[in-house]
Amino acid sequence: MTDASGIDWEDAFANAAYIPDGMSYLEKWRSAAAAFRQTAMGELDIPYGTHPREVFDLFTPDTTPKGLAVFVHGGYWLDFDKSSWSHLAQGALAHGWAVALPSYVLAPEATLPDITRQVAQAISRAAQRVAGPIHLAGHSAGGHLVTRMACQNAPLPPEIAARISRVVSISGLHDLRPLMLHSMNTNLQLSEESAAVESTALQPPRAGIETIAWVGAAERPEFLRQSSLLVENWGRQGADTRLVADPQRHHFDVVDGLTAADHPLCQAFVGE
């Protein structure tokens, strides 16, 4: 749909059409994740709720963890689960962090406020198993969900929220209002009220959290805008924010740096 601005919002959020062999990444992710799980040390499908999708995987290093790193997957809150992303735990594990990857109930079965609460519950349950600081990272819709945990009104127990010290939103969505003009809103069911409440760029940030908006420099303009908006709005409110435009990276390969301990993205995630 095109609004008064002249922007075609269907096209603005399209990624695969602008990435060479874009659809091939789905199988690449699944294969890499499955291969990683064959050798990784950890526990799969730990429940944090009663729905079959309310489960998380927890991978652990061979030493006492430095803390808990959580990665939340994307897919416009409509697609994927944790099983396609296990390999992204590699870098943080190499730094000595335990890494949790939750699934959540997808829209339209769940609304975005529902999903926000589920991710908070997953983080809380994982944090009961791993002591120390909590770092969060998420991709695309997952970037929204982890920055949502850094908002003052995040649905987290105070003792868990106080442990979160770093959030890395990778190509995140932080202004959800344009999605009301996209056909996917038939399933997302965003209203003016829920879009505003769930738009992290419109919410006050929690103090004491370093937030990094990491985006591919070759991404669609809307994703560049979304990351810039979060950094600008939260920075004006005194939050510790930083914007990184990763050269030549697009929406599908921008997460690859999480697999390598020496990659700047992974180092930003673990804070080293």
**Residues in contact with 241: Cβ distance below 8 Å, sequence separation at least 6, in sequence order:** 210, 211, 212, 213, 230, 231, 234, 235
Quote the number of domains for the chain: 1
Question: Which residues have CB under 8 Å from 8's CB, separation 6+?
Answer: 1, 2
The mean pLDDT value for 140-157 works out to 98
Q: Is residue 16, in this structure, part of any structural domain at all?
A: no
Indicate whether 21 belongs to any domain: no
pTM above 0.85?
A: yes
pLDDT at 3 over 70: no
* 63 in any annotated domain: yes
Q: In this structure, is residue 20 part of a structural domain?
A: no
66 domain-assigned: yes
Rounded Cα distance between 257 and 101, Å, is 17
Please report, as a single letter, which amino acid is at residue 64. T
The angle, 0 to 180 degrees and rounded to 10, between the axes of the packed helices 112-129 and 141-148 is 70
Give the SS3 label for residue 164: strand
Residue 72: CATH number of its domain: 3.40.50.1820
Q: What is the pLDDT of residues 203-262, one digit of tens each?
A: 999 999 999 999 999 999 999 999 999 999 999 999 999 999 999 999 999 999 999 999
In a domain, 7, yes or no: no
Give the span between the Cα atoms of 254 and 37, in whole angstroms: 21
143 in any annotated domain: yes
Whether residue 209 lies inside any domain: the answer is yes
Residue 201 sits in which domain range? 26-270
